[in-house]
Structure 1
Amino acid sequence: MSQEPPAESTTAPDRQRRDVPVGVVMVGMSAIAWWPAFTLGAWGEIFFDNILGLWAASTAAFVFVLVERRPVRGRLVRAFVLLIPTVWLVLNFLVSSQNPDDLGAAIVDLFALLVVIVGIPFTLWVLVRIIWPEFAAERRRRTIWLITSVVLGVAVISLLLGMNQSRFLTCQDFAISGNSEPPGCTPEETSTPTPATPAPNGSATP
């Protein structure tokens, strides 16, 4: 009588294949979230191209959420969060069209921070559900928390690296990469030429 193979040998490849999307989502979210967090730490602000890029993606996801065939209650919550980059854009228009004050600038900066902390992961999560509809349905809550923790951890570490960029980067590093020099960056060390020693007849020798 033939023996059936152990259950683990038949299910292990399936589990490995199911774990691949988890790694892809985790790496993709971290790769996108680190740079805005780093710029916030290094320059004290988030570059406009990062937020506008997120605004374009979140707006497209917002339209999809409104037309997808799901219960209205769940769609409205996700649509509200996807509007955070749009709120930031509207606030910029309102503050710039009037005399900007400290309160208005603080509100804009607060929404810019929300765009990074909330908007980026949530927009990416909605896009993942669009591309892989079965992904979220098959994932356990523990896996979702793992992805969130890793992405948030990478963002926090990137923020700290930006705040301490002078310890491992120089101003020349930022200039070569095409970025402006952040405040407090370390200047590039240059070797000072050795002064020529005078010869006995009074002429200088190299």
Structure 2
Amino acid sequence: MATAAAGGTLIIWWPAFTLGAYNAVFFDDVLTLWAVATAVLLSGAILRKREALPWGGWLALFLPSLWIVLAIVAPRTKGFPYLHYFEEVLNLVGAPILTWLLSRILLPDYAELPVHERLAAVAVTLIIGVLAFLLGQFNYLFLTCADFNVSGNNPPAHCAQGPPLSRV
């Protein structure tokens, strides 16, 4: 359970933080989710573990690829101007779902785990996502604009002025 929860939180924490700090999920976060989901999808196909997931699970693993196809065929200027909402939902909903899917595929005794343990991995991912969002919203309490600059990120609109708090 801890491994699945850790995997899910690695995917959700940064998109949730940037949504809190910048009111946006960045494309590289969506591409990270795409890479992990596609790796699990292809691994499951190669290992022939299709029975490990219901058809909806395999469809969920394909959603990040669908986002890329939509981004290519539907230009934002005229085709689908709200594609960024799909990106945000994909990341914030996709990470907990990916946690559940990874658990089903990677843990051989997954079905034998008590329901509360299976749900706990997804719950941990959701909790980390909410906490990361709040840390992004209130970044000015523990980070400065200089911290964002030093890390190579643009400072969000509501960051605190001052020298970097984290020393490199």
TM-score by length of 1: 0.67
Greater C-alpha Rg: 1
Matched to 1:33, the amino acid is I
Matched to 2:95, the amino acid is I
Q: CA RMSD in A?
A: 2.5
Instruction: Identify unmatched segments of 5+ residues in structure 2.
Output: 164-168
Matched to 1:99, the amino acid is T
Matched to 1:115, the amino acid is L
1:122 and 2:97 aligned: yes
Q: Is the contact between residue 66 and residue 75 of structure 1 (CA under 8 Å) also seen in structure 2? A: no
Matched to 2:91, the amino acid is V
Shift of 1:178: 1.9
- Is the partner of 2:154 in helix, strand or coil? coil
Shift of 1:30: 2.2
Cα 1:118–1:53 change in 2 (3 A) is same
Q: Which digits, 9 at most, give the CA deviation of each residue in 1:10-43, with x for residues without a partner?
A: xxxxxxxxxxxx2333233223321111011111
Instruction: Identify unmatched segments of 5+ residues in structure 1.
Output: 1-21, 190-206
Aligned counterparts of 1:64 and 1:175: Cα–Cα separation in 2: 38
- The one of 90, 93, 99 aligned to 2:77: 99
1:172 and 2:146 aligned: yes
Matched length: 162
Partner residue in 1 for 2:20? 41
Q: Is the contact between residue 54 and residue 85 of structure 1 (CA under 8 Å) also seen in structure 2? A: yes
Shift of 1:46: 1.5
Alignment of 1:21-60 (within 5 A): 22-60=1-39
Aligned counterparts of 1:84 and 1:173: Cα–Cα separation in 2: 34
Aligned counterparts of 1:28 and 1:79: Cα–Cα separation in 2: 18
Shift of 1:76: 1.8
Q: Is the contact between residue 21 and residue 156 of structure 2 (CA under 8 Å) also seen in structure 1? A: yes
Task: Spell out structure 1 runs of 4+ moving beyond 4 A.
Answer: 69-72
Partner residue in 2 for 1:186? 160
Partner residue in 2 for 1:133? 108
Aligned counterparts of 2:58 and 2:7: Cα–Cα separation in 1: 22
- Is the partner of 1:185 in helix, strand or coil? coil
Aligned counterparts of 2:34 and 2:56: Cα–Cα separation in 1: 17
Q: Is the contact between residue 41 and residue 58 of structure 2 (CA under 8 Å) also seen in structure 1? A: yes
Q: Which has the higher contact order (CA 8 A, sep 6+)?
A: 2
